Copies of this chain bind each other. A is one copy, B any other.
Amino acid sequence: MNDSYHHGDLRRALIEAAVEAIAEGGPGSLSLRAVAKRAGVSHAAPAHHFGDKAGLLTAVAAEGHERFADALERVWESTGDFAEVGVAYMRFAVDNRAYFATMFRPELLHEDDPELVRAAARSRATLYRGTGERDADGTERTYNPAALAAWSLVHGFTELLMGGNLAPEVGDDPEAALRDIGSWLRV
């Protein structure tokens, strides 16, 4: 509990330091040693909690999926509008650059980490929720063309936006632009 040798909750502190570092330079430029320094511990401390660099990024991605699912769920429950969920999708990416950028970079992660798999499945399920179609047993379908179209559109717009590939007039008010192009989708 004291702050001499044992940190108390170093795992938490390392994740937070990692998120800060990712926000500054992207997940690809993350340095374990820099994260350790930021958290005030020795250079090899992170490895003890996460195994390796991919392990730390995996923890960040998993936490990102949880927060993502929370945000989407909140919007869906308060509005019941699928289009609003799409807008929340984009807004999460803008407001949580570090998490979002890490979540969709599989080559940096331990893809089969159970915690990550579970969190990713939850955020995916949230996305498909409310798109109507269900299988015979009542569970929501995982492949649903209309939902996949909407997901693709929102994800693509978001990726292009974050990569700076959109015209300035779009980037200045992305929310309006997204609602605009969303109306081109047949409901």
Known: A165-B104, A184-B185. A153 touches B143 (CB 8 A): no
Residues from chain B with a CB closer than 8 A to the CB of A185 are 149, 184-186
Q: Tell me if B148 and A177 are in contact (CB < 8 A).
A: yes
Closest to A182 in B: B149
Find residues 117-173 in chain A having any chain B CB closer than 8 Å to their own CB. 124, 142-143, 145-146, 148-160, 163-167, 169-170
A41 touches B (CB below 8 Å):
no
Interface SS majority for chain A: helix
Q: Tell me if B143 and A151 are in contact (CB < 8 A).
A: no
Q: Tell me if B148 and A170 are in contact (CB < 8 A).
A: yes
Known: A154-B156, A159-B155, A159-B159. A181 touches B106 (CB 8 A): no
Shortest CB–CB separation between residue A51 and chain B, in angstroms? 18
Q: Tell me if B157 and A169 are in contact (CB < 8 A).
A: no
A26 touches B (CB below 8 Å):
yes
Shortest CB–CB separation between residue A49 and chain B, in angstroms? 23
Closest to A158 in B: B156
Residues from chain B with a CB closer than 8 A to the CB of A169 are 143
| Listed residue (A25, A150, A157) with the most chain B CB atoms within 10 angstroms of its CB | A157
A9 touches B (CB below 8 Å):
no
A-side residues, CB < 8 A to B, are 25-26, 28-29, 104-108, 111, 124, 142-143, 145-146, 148-160, 163-167, 169-170, 177, 180-182, 184-186
Q: Would you give 25 A-B contacts (Cβ < 8 Å), ordered by A?
A: A28-B108, A104-B159, A106-B163, A106-B164, A124-B165, A142-B167, A143-B167, A145-B180, A146-B181, A146-B184, A148-B166, A148-B177, A149-B182, A150-B184, A151-B156, A151-B160, A152-B152, A152-B153, A152-B154, A152-B156, A155-B156, A155-B159, A156-B157, A156-B158, A184-B185
